[in-house]
Chain A
Amino acid sequence: MSRSEYRSTVLQSLKTMLIAGKYGLERWSYVLQRISGVVVALYFIAHVLETGNFIGGITVWSVPDYSFAEKAYEETVKLLKNPLFDVGLAVVGFLVTFHTINGIRLILAHFGFFLGKPRRPEPFEPPVSFSTRQRALFWLSISLAVFALLYALDSLMRVFRT
């Protein structure tokens, strides 16, 4: 396969993965689970690097002076204390909460809980994997994620308090 063919194949599969279209809520939960997972993984890498900066960055490998660390911390906080980062953190809170509850739903489904008794599938019936209780867990994940978003916005930027 040539390079351009390879690239168009990857783009095509990316489109297939991310655009759930008419395939239903379970498929959309799959899409959101992938997107939230990748975004949170990138946030995690940034978070480890950023907390490393709190005590002076990558050059520091032994316990530094207290005042040096305090100064490095104040500088990093000055950089991070920015409404854009606050909103980003709240969005990460939304994604983490969704990913957590939806992940629990997926673990339960994978080990066969909440799926009902095994039976012969009928043609054209909706999939049994998204049962009522599974759907309830999905909507629970969405609502808790919205709550986390609002809570984070409030505790970082005092949105709902005066």
Chain B
Amino acid sequence: MRERNLMLLHYITGLGILLFGAIHVWTLFFTYPLQETIWETTLRFDSLPYAVLPVYRNILFAASLFGLLLCTTIHAMNGIRAVIAELIGARIRWVEAVLVAVGVFLVVYGTRTILIANNLLV
């Protein structure tokens, strides 16, 4: 892909992270009772109303997590590529291949986590 299109993609995925990441951070950090720490409430495994699994069970939250995974992977891999290209002064083919492979692995592995947590029932 051309540098110009990659940077446009970088900006678009960045704004996507802003949207989905806001939802993600909101469900984690801004929905717990103030007397407790995040470990005591939001990071419990499974109990209503605040815990990890209920977020994954909700199909809309799960979809937003998938969007976050996709946007962040593209943004992170392209960001590392850009930093390396700035350091070396040229784009290196095998570095980009490695980054694409890592990105594909992250998306597959993360999607697996989201799907399993979405379907995990008592």
Contacts and interface: CB of A to CB of B under 8 A. Distances in A.
A60 B110 CA distance: 12
A41 B71 CA distance: 12
Contact of B37 (A10, A41, A73, A155): A155
B119 interface: yes
B48 interface: no
Task: Summarize B's interface: helix, strand, loop or mixed.
Answer: helix
Contact of A54 (B80, B117, B122): B117
Contacts of A104: 18
Interface string A32-55: 001001101100110011011011
A13 B89 contact: yes
Given A44-B76, A54-B117, A81 B83 contact: no
Interface residues on A, range: 35 or more
A88 interface: no
Task: Summarize A's interface: helix, strand, loop or mixed.
Answer: helix
Interface in A88-110: 96, 100, 103-104, 107, 110
Interface residues on B, range: 35 or more
Interface stretch (A21-29, A64-72, A124-132, A134-142): A64-72
Contact of B110 (A37, A48, A61, A62): A48
B52 interface: yes
A73 B45 contact: yes
Given A34-B83, A52-B112, 6 more contacts: A48-B113, A49-B109, A66-B120, A69-B116, A100-B17, A103-B14
22 contacts: A14-B87, A17-B86, A40-B76, A41-B76, A41-B77, A44-B73, A48-B106, A51-B113, A54-B52, A54-B117, A55-B113, A55-B120, A63-B119, A69-B45, A69-B120, A70-B45, A103-B14, A155-B29, A155-B32, A155-B38, A156-B38, A158-B37
Interface of A: 10, 13-14, 17, 34, 37-38, 40-41, 44-45, 48-49, 51-52, 54-55, 58, 60-64, 66, 69-70, 73-74, 77, 81, 96, 100, 103-104, 107, 110, 151-152, 155-158, 161
Interface of B: 11, 14-15, 17-18, 21, 29, 32, 34, 37-39, 43, 45-46, 52, 69, 72-73, 76-77, 79-80, 83, 86-89, 102, 106, 109-110, 112-113, 116-117, 119-122
